Amino acid sequence: MDYKTNVMRMLDQKRIPYKSYSYADTDAISGAEVAEALGQNPAQVFKTLVTVSKSNQHFVFVIPVKKELDLKRAAASVGEKSIRMLPAKELLPLTGYVHGGCSPIGMKKVFQTVVDVAASTFESIIFSAGKIGYQVELTLADLNKILLYKVASLTE
C-alpha cells in the first residue's frame, strides 16, 4: 500500500512491524462490513470507542466490531461509577479523529485505554489506522510498545 496514515508513520518511526489494509474502494461502513471487505475474521477486527465519565474524564475502549461496549463493565475497568459514549460531534476536536476512523494510536491527548480481553485470544488484532478506509494489524505486544493499555472484559 502506497498511502500512509499518521498511525502508520508513527509505527514506522518506532520500527514497530504491522500489516496495513485498505477498504477505501469499498462501500464498507460498519466494522463488520470492513471485516468482510478485507476478508478478515470479524472477531479479530476491533473498533475504538471514546467515552466520558461524570467527572469529565475521557477513556478509550477497544472492542470487537460485532460486540457492544458494556458501559458498567467499562466504567468498573477504569474505576468510575458510570461512563457514557462521547457525542460524535466532540470526537474530532478531542481526539483528532472522525467517527469511523478513530484509532487508539495517535490521539491528540493520551487517554487511559482498555482493550477487551477477547483480543488476547488472537496473535494480532486489526483496528483503524486513523483514517476511514484504512486498517492496521499489530500483535498486542507490539501495540504495547506504542500505547499503554490494560486488558479487561468489556462486552457481554
1 assigned to some structural domain = no
Residue 156 binned pLDDT confidence (cut-offs 50, 70, 90): confident
133 assigned to some structural domain = yes
37 assigned to some structural domain = yes
Residue 115 pLDDT > 60: yes
Task: Supply the CATH number for residue 23's domain.
Answer: 3.90.960.10
- The secondary element (H helix, E strand) that includes residue 21 is strand 19-22
79 assigned to some structural domain = yes
Sorted by sequence, the CB contacts under 8 Å of residue 45 that are 6+ apart come out as 31, 34, 35, 38, 64, 65, 125, 126, 127, 135
Task: Concatenate the DSSP letters of all residues of 45-112 into one string.
Answer: BEEEEEEEETT--EEEEEEETTS-B-HHHHHHHTT-S-EEEPPHHHHHHHHS--TT---SSS-SS--E
Mean pLDDT of the chain: 94
Residue 80 pLDDT > 70: yes
**Which domain range does residue 11 map to?**
6-152
pLDDT tens, residue by residue, 12-52: 999 999 999 999 889 888 888 999 999 999 999 999 999 99
The domain tally of the chain equals 1
Q: pTM of this prediction? A: 0.94
pLDDT tens, residue by residue, 99-111: 989 999 999 999 9
